[in-house]
Structure 1
């Protein structure tokens, strides 16, 4: 089951309440974590009074809420790099919010911040973990995308792990997603030949518009043949967002000393059994390739440097970004579920009315 929060309102004559989604009510029939692909029935909305900030706190109103594939993994029990979501409690994730009431000197009313916050229209914070963001450098929603976690994931995964060199061939799976479109453009900045895979002709066209040298619709192409044709000189760097059959095909094309950044495995996030496929160890061994999984929080001390560089490239027109914006706080679950149907191009976010 998935947590989510509905909306908050301060209507005259009514007790202030906020509506928020959560991981199912305590007596909800679907009270267990999802098996396979989640459904809308596993979310529930609840209301409560809008809280008042105490001394040293601020009241935040959500402006944009991020939905991300990694959240699916947090709906599973078991050890991971971050604790799982708790059934019956709100989901939390990236949120851009505005300070609407403040009892904290460092965050006056009107400040815009980004941080890991619960899916609520209103929430109280003591300011820890919040980053105040400028409103004149880029759309504030970009701090959930290009200038936020996805952009930094692309930046460190490609430039630190893959370390692409001019003239090399870079393959990006899930290339039309929030991370993938940034990876491809960064690789072009570094002078590489860039190949992306995506799930529709519209996304393929968009990737070519961004400057990708080749883009492949994996749903209609023979992926192994299409990749071999697109990369006649083999693959030097692979940024893996999806896993599955696409990754199997790329491994057949690895050059000597290839570098692979393992970022995501969305092809198997909803699997109820461990997928069985070709084992990659032999190919990694014979090509002396490097495979490294990573989490963007590994680079937390370097985030300011990454944001500064991404902002510079954006201001210079070297980076473009795309958002799929869903309107309405009550649409958060639908926006989240749409990730697994390929409904988004670029970053999927919800604009809170």
Structure 2
């Protein structure tokens, strides 16, 4: 996520750009300049690329002329990044970057007057190091970004998301749980607040090709669509319900929100072959709304015990046009399902712009 801000000095304005890794809020690139030319934000981007060497990651910014310039978008494309821009004049669309700018201003800039760019640059260098390595952030559990990133580098079975359904009230009222990732994704501006509802999670049953149903974490909205208000369809304490949502670094970083939860649950339930097939399928149709709809339909088949042959054998051979027709046919079986998926896609794509078509 990228943004820049203004700082007044005795010699005029200087401009400070930041690039933030959304997962833990780590500042991976920054630059101070006396000019707002595109090269200024490109320098910050190059620092971030050198630090992280990402590929297939979403780069989000506002619609500032520097970020939508040909030079900048071309560099994103060369680095294998997908460009996303927010709505004009809507600070919530770039909320995390705005938050970093606000902290920077409050903790550094507003404390004194500044003589020149060099003075601002030295102070910014000191603050970025302190922020990344020593500033305690509430959303991370009162640890600094660098420490949060070390946690994600632990072995794949380390608990990163841990909604444990052990409260006795669960047997009477199935609980809706939202992962920390989803909460932060909304607050940081990488998905619209209206999508928040779709990421409510609840305990449910899933079945793999007719095998005995197993307890899993499932989307609450889809659970209600299938079962209605019938609480008997949800697991309770009588079912020895203690579910930890485990995931690996790869699943956390590259498959956010419902897609990542789906893959996490497949891995947790030792359905590794299915998880690999799904990852391949999501890559094949990445960057399109078809991918989002596939996630919902796979959840549906798991929760209703349908055959998984399409997911393990058939869909990978379909063209994008054929897949679209398959999805339309599946949606046509249920109007409420169609409405649910269409609403989700509408909100999920509210802030996205594909760099390849810009």
- Do both proteins adopt the same fold according to a TM-score greater than 0.5, normalized to the shorter chain? no
More strand by share: 1
Q: What TM-score do you get using the length of structure 1 for normalisation?
A: 0.30
Task: Indicate the structure with greater helix content.
Answer: 2
> Structure 2 length as normaliser, TM-score?
0.30
